[in-house]
């Protein structure tokens, strides 16, 4: 299999960089070219053109949805610094894209990385996101869950034949005594304003959770004492952020957790169109930082172990 040693069995700690609550993988090709790839359970799969040029891989032009796109085959990675390739069997994308990466111009991507690995890369497999240790583990075979872990169901959009049409997981969480569905989104990122950077005292990009505007506004109205950044996020013309004291997921309470406001249509219309149900936002690293999470895509469950 391209990009993965034939002997790959069991569990493998991937070459990982954990930065500001998010996971980047750092594979090295057989030609010695190093990559920094952002991983995002709620995202797509692509390389920047600059990375493809460094790799020396040729791309092919395809017409997809009446748009010309560039795609490339999966690189070959060194045995001691490899990551698994996109699984052809579980890649729900159009046939022309299966197992391949889109090549995008630099100005189309706002990420400090050479590309992104998203739903079609994670789908059909089992992974452990060890937030306390900053490690991402690939399991060729699903391990037995830790006896102290708690389990939550995941939902996926499916076709008439019950095969998954997308690999974007929904998951439920309870906040302010109400339970809502969200996107399980390890890549949820806020681009901080000056106010946000001064508050958090860190880099300009930070892991977050997202919530629809109507629900954010409800929390703000009900709980004026919850910490608020008026313009913490520079996206969408400037958006506020709110600190929720407790979030319950898989029956475990964790917090505090920062949420960033997003227009309702971003999730009610756009993201929900690719999921099994309407979601009210996305749960990311500002919540997941408290856990070791094993996500079993085939069995549609996530196991949470509190740190």
Q: Is residue 30 part of a domain?
A: yes
pLDDT at 109: 65
**Does residue 6 fall inside a structural domain?**
no
Residue 3 lies in a domain: no
- Do residue 102 and residue 75 come from a single domain? yes
Strands laid side by side in the 170-175 sheet: 228-233, 239-244, 257-262, 209-212, 281-283, 178-184, 170-175, 247-249, 252-254
Asked if the structure places residue 194 within a domain, the reply is yes
Q: Pick out the chain residues at pLDDT < 50.
A: 1-4, 6-7
The answer to whether residues 194 and 287 belong to one domain is: yes
Q: Residue 231's domain spans which residues?
A: 150-306
**Statement to judge: residues 161 and 255 lie in one domain:** yes
Looking at the 3D structure of the chain, how many domains does it have? 2
Domain boundary among 79, 106, 139: 139
Say yes or no: 172 and 228 in one domain. yes
Based on the domain organization, do 171 and 286 belong to the same domain?
yes
3-state helix/strand/coil string of 68-109: EEEEECCCCECCCCCCCCCCHHHCCCCHHHCCCEEEECHHHC
User: Which residue among 117, 139, 161 closes a domain?
Assistant: 139
Last residue of a domain, one of 94, 117, 139: 139
Same domain, 62 and 22: yes
Q: Which of 128, 127, 121, 102 is nearest to 40 (CA)?
A: 121
15, 147 Cβ separation under 8 angstroms: no
What integer pLDDT is reported at residue 175 of this predicted model?
98
* Residue 155 near residue 299 (C-beta atoms within 8 A): no
Asked if 162 and 262 sit in the same domain, the reply is: yes
Supply the CATH number for residue 87's domain.
Answer: 2.40.70
Residue 302 and residue 155 in one domain: yes
Same structural domain for residues 292 and 158? yes
pLDDT the model gives residue 77: 93
Mark whether 132 and 41 lie in a shared domain: yes
Same-domain check for residues 159 and 100: no
Q: Is 4 a member of any domain?
A: no
**Do 177 and 135 share a structural domain?**
no
């Amino acid at each position: 299999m391209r990009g993965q040693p034939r002997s790959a069995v069991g569990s493998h700690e991937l070459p990982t960089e954990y930065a500001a609550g998010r996971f980047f993988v750092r594979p090295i090709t057989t030609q010695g070219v190093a990559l920094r790839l952002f991983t995002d359970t709620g995202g797509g799969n692509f390389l920047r053109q600059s990375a493809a040029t460094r790799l020396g891989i040729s791309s092919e032009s395809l017409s997809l949805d009446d748009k010309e796109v560039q795609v490339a085959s999966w690189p070959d990675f060194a045995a001691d610094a490899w990551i698994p390739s996109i699984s052809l069997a579980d890649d729900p994308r159009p046939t022309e894209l299966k197992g391949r990466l889109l090549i995008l111009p630099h100005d189309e991507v706002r990420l400090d990385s050479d590309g992104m690995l998203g739903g079609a890369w994670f789908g059909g497999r089992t992974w452990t996101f060890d937030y306390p240790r900053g490690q991402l583990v690939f399991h060729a075979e699903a391990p037995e869950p830790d006896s102290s872990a708690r389990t939550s169901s995941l939902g996926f959009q499916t076709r008439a034949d019950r095969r998954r049409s997308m690999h974007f997981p929904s998951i439920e969480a309870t906040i302010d005594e109400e339970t809502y569905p969200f996107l399980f989104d390890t890549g949820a990122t806020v681009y901080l304003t000056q106010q946000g950077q001064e508050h958090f005292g860190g880099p300009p990009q930070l892991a977050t959770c997202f919530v629809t505007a109507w629900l954010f506004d409800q929390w703000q109205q009900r709980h004026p004492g919850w910490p608020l950044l008026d313009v913490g996020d520079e996206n969408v013309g400037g958006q506020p952020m709110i600190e929720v004291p407790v979030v319950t997921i898989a029956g475990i309470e964790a917090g505090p957790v920062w949420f960033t406001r997003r227009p309702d249509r971003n999730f009610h219309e756009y993201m929900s169109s690719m999921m099994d149900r309407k979601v009210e936002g996305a749960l990311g690293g500002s919540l997941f930082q408290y856990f070791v999470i094993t996500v079993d895509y085939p069995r549609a469950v996530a196991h949470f172990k509190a740190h």
